[in-house]
Amino acid sequence: MHLGDRGGNKGVYLVNIVDEVTQFQHLGAVPRITQHFMVLVLKDLISAFPFTVQAFHADNGSEYINHQIAELLNELHIPTFTKSRPRHSNDNALVESKNGSIVRRWLGHIHVPHSLVPRVNAFLHDHLCPLLNFHRPCLFPTEVPGPNGRVKRRYRQEDVATPYERFKSMPGAENFLRPGVSLDALDQLAAAATHLDAAKAVQRARDELLRAVGQARDSAA
């Protein structure tokens, strides 16, 4: 996902990955969409999930469909790889909806110079992603059979939960955790701040990031 251009110069790109079961989400920034940068950021993002990843689904971009990514998935012991079908935008509907409702909401279309990629990644890793995974509620569908036999999805108030709450409610959730990760440690992360305080902290961190972007623009002018 490209943030924006300025004066003919390309800004940074954001890579957004979302777990389709729990809606756990991680974001990373890269200066360019190349195989070199994509392998590095995907390894970090996939490894950030507290549970083991069983499958990887991507769009049709060549940055995902290549031998380097295949080697990375083998290294991370992810056995299944699938990709979206051409002209089927719903194949990636979940992550596309997150791009609009989260990424654009927090960062918009600002142009971020490549020199600030580490600063953007620090904001995403330390502030935005913890908010999304431990404090931001998501809607989860309940499948209800209709009178004609077709299954319909209903989004009920009682099914609203944060991604971590959703994961923890799964039967045997502790069996899916990555080695070295415990529910007690995750509970401590979730309880470290209230939902409101976590959101305010992200707003402050974003304001600091935007000031750094403005200063970088002024110095380059």
Averaged over successive runs of 10 residues, the pLDDT of the chain (221 residues) comes to 85 95 97 91 96 92 86 92 80 88 91 94 97 96 85 90 97 95 96 96 96 86 60
What CATH class is the domain 5-137+191-220?
alpha beta
Our CA angle for 54, 58, 59, nearest 5°, is 165
Only one residue has tokens 């195989």, namely 35
Half-sphere exposure of 69 (CA within 13 A, CB side): 22
Only one residue has tokens 């209230």, namely 194
State pTM to two decimals: 0.91
Q: pLDDT at position 221, please?
A: 60
Q: pLDDT at position 130, please?
A: 97
Tokens of 217: 């623009």
Report how far apart, in Å, the C-alpha atoms of 30 and of each of 102, 115, 189 are. Answer: 18, 10, 27
Q: pLDDT at position 114, please?
A: 93
Domain boundaries, the chain: 5-137+191-220
